Amino acid sequence: MAESARDGILGILRGAARDRDEAAARAAVAERVKGHPRNLVPARGQDAGAKAVDRFIQMATASAATVEVVPNGARVPHAVADYLSAHNLPSRVRVGPDADLSALPWDRRPTLEVLYGPAAPDDLVSVTPALAAVAETGTLMTRSGPGHPTTLNFLPNTHIVVLPVERVVGSYEDAWDMLRAGFTEAAEFPRTVNFITGPSRTADIEQTPQLHAHGPGRLHILLVGDATAPQG
Residue type, 6: R
pLDDT at residue number 98: 93
- Overall residue count recorded for the chain in this entry: 232
Q: Name the β-bridge partners of 225.
A: none
pLDDT at residue number 72: 96
Q: Are 127 and 95 in contact (CB under 8 A)?
A: yes
| Interatomic CA distance for residues 140 and 56, integer angstroms | 10
Q: Are 188 and 129 in contact (CB under 8 A)?
A: no
pLDDT at residue number 187: 65
Q: Are 131 and 172 in contact (CB under 8 A)?
A: no
Print pLDDT tens along the chain (232 aa).
456 777 778 777 777 777 777 788 778 777 777 777 788 888 888 989 999 999 999 999 999 999 999 999 999 999 999 999 999 999 999 998 999 999 999 999 999 999 999 999 999 999 999 999 999 999 999 999 988 999 999 999 999 999 999 999 999 999 999 998 887 666 678 889 999 999 865 545 555 555 555 668 899 999 999 877 666 5
Question: Residue 102: which H helix or E strand, with range?
Answer: helix 99-102
Sequence-distant (6+) residues with CB within 8 A of 61 are 67, 138
Nearest to 180 by CA among 221, 141, 231, 227: 141
pLDDT at residue number 1: 43
Nearest to 165 by CA among 30, 73, 61: 73
pLDDT at residue number 84: 97
Give the domains, in start order, of the chain with CATH numbers. Answer: 36-224 (3.40.50.10420)
Burial of residue 19, with CB atoms counted within 10 A of its CB: 0-12 exposed, 13-18 middle, 19 or more buried: exposed
pLDDT at residue number 76: 97
pTM of the model as a whole:
0.81
First to last CA, the chain: 63
Rounded to 5°, the CA angle 45-150-153 comes to: 65
Q: Are 93 and 113 in contact (CB under 8 A)?
A: yes
pLDDT at residue number 183: 76
